[in-house]
A and B are shown apart, each in its own frame.
Chain A
């Protein structure tokens, strides 16, 4: 008998002799939820874009409210005023829908009458973005280093060869030709700046935060180790420093130090900031996380978000004071609204979802 055959026989004998317990489906789905939560945690802390709050388009358009934000919701359980994706369908704020391509959507950003969705990179694969028309037709798909970001009018994304190589940043405004430029490293977008440039972190440079203008010149933001979110309204960046989280100007001047916290997102007008308590073990636990809404300038606590099954990184500003969050009760997702007084109300829409609910990306 050859060496190879002897080896094959021994391996077969050994494998057959061991006893095994079958894994039930519930264990697989439970582990999948844990993996998904960890991915969200990583995304929310390392990718500012994922954690960025989103402003409804109307917020940034001139209007009776002076652009400060739409009127607060009438009732705590009123339908969501931003879009959301669940079970392969995107529900716009106006209640119209778009059928999404097959796949697990991690972000959804409205663009040119349709949406750009990002796929889960999975085990080894690159991040993939897909542009979907309002009819549900797939317009384009490409590899990227970052999920899209928006300031309410412009949408920015990255493009990269699926085999790697330099990345291109693209900023598309409804009333202008798309502008694009190449940058070194692996840009992960944090936001679109008022002048048309972007704020991004370079994943190839330890997450260092940079400003990049439309000509491709980049300047490192001093002071921050990385950026977790950016407010185009007030042009402030938040991220960790050796002394805790900080909110800084684009030149690195510290506006507010927030020790023991992690900054998740600014409100649409930049006046408030959603923060999570950053203590060892709290965020690593996965699901529930204690959080507070603080005044950006003074650091005063405005709203306490009760610790619950709110999924970390799911918070999106619906207006200047109201947050939408996704709750996760053992795989059953619900949308909830956190009002300025800290009351959490479950929304009737969508109905109980076994799939992840993904809220619309906004500024």
Chain B
């Protein structure tokens, strides 16, 4: 059986589990910030994004040996994150909330984002169906091709096209001041 070949820390002399942890730690340090941003766009909530990403990373950790192509790691995590995000919503919002007797300490997080026209578009993006939103994030934030997006989401290219088209139509309809369809026609 071939061992995983990845660029990363020198794992010579380590046990298999030690080598996995070293490789995974290196991947975590390198890719976590970017993956958190994607998770945030998928969920629209900072805490939920961290929750989704942590679960996705845990599942990647358990399946680390299966991903033989290091270039496929991000795609694998994106797919898990999309599935996790959908699963959370299938489980229902109430089950994600945990009542506590003590109010947690710490200041609330405020995102440094202006409340301008871009915010209006972002608000509409958050109302898109979760699959359509995932398509939008992967296509226009991650800059994946239609085929790559289809592969990550496990759907057909045709579905990616139709979801994209519907999402853009919704965004244009609901934020005409931000997205002027006449620009498309020029």
* A residues whose Cβ falls under 8 Å from a Cβ of B: 1-4, 6-23, 25, 27-29, 31-32, 34-36, 87-88, 101-104, 120, 122-125, 138, 354-355
Contacts and interface: CB of A to CB of B under 8 A. Distances in A.
B89 interface: no
Given A18-B111, A20-B50, A25-B21, A13 B62 contact: no
Contacts of A15: 37-38, 40-41, 141
Interface residues of B, number: 58
Contacts of B109: 19
B46 A6 contact: no
A88 B46 contact: no
Contacts of A16: 37
A190 B1 CA distance: 29
Nearest to A27: B54
A254 to B, nearest CB: 36
A10 B118 contact: yes
A32 B61 contact: yes
Interface string B15-41: 111000100110010001100111011
Select the residue from A8, A15, A29 with max chain B CB neighbours within 10 A: A15
Contacts of A125: 63, 66
Interface string B50-81: 10011101110111011000000000000110
Nearest to A15: B37
B184 A3 contact: yes
A3 B183 CA distance: 7
A88 to B, nearest CB: 4
A138 B1 contact: yes
Given A15-B37, A18-B40, 10 more contacts: A3-B168, A6-B121, A15-B38, A20-B33, A23-B32, A23-B57, A27-B54, A87-B16, A123-B80, A124-B154
B96 to A, nearest CB: 15
Nearest to A125: B66
Contacts of B3: 102
A101 B4 CA distance: 11
A363 B46 CA distance: 49
Contact of B53 (A4, A23, A87): A23
A334 B111 CA distance: 46
Contacts of A6: 121, 178-179
B75 to A, nearest CB: 12
Contacts of A88: 15-16
Contact of B58 (A10, A35, A87, A354): A35
Interface of B: 1-4, 15-17, 21, 24-25, 28, 32-33, 36-38, 40-41, 46, 49-50, 53-55, 57-59, 61-63, 65-66, 79-80, 83, 109, 111-113, 118, 121-122, 125, 136-137, 140-141, 143, 154, 168, 171-172, 178-181, 183-184
Contacts of B83: 123-124
B17 A355 contact: yes
A27 B50 CA distance: 11
Given A25-B28, A27-B54, A102-B16, A11 B140 contact: yes
Contacts of B59: 32, 35, 122-123
Contacts of A23: 28, 32, 50, 53-54, 57
B114 to A, nearest CB: 8
B62 A32 contact: yes
A175 to B, nearest CB: 30
A25 B111 CA distance: 25
B112 A19 contact: yes
B65 A17 contact: no
Select the residue from B16, B58, B136 with max chain A CB neighbours within 10 A: B58
A36 B62 contact: yes
10 contacts: A3-B183, A7-B121, A8-B141, A8-B143, A11-B141, A23-B53, A25-B25, A31-B54, A138-B1, A355-B16
A14 to B, nearest CB: 5
Contacts of B66: 103, 122, 125
Contacts of B62: 32, 35-36, 104, 120, 122
A291 to B, nearest CB: 26
A123 B2 CA distance: 22
Given A4-B140, A120-B63, A87 B111 contact: no
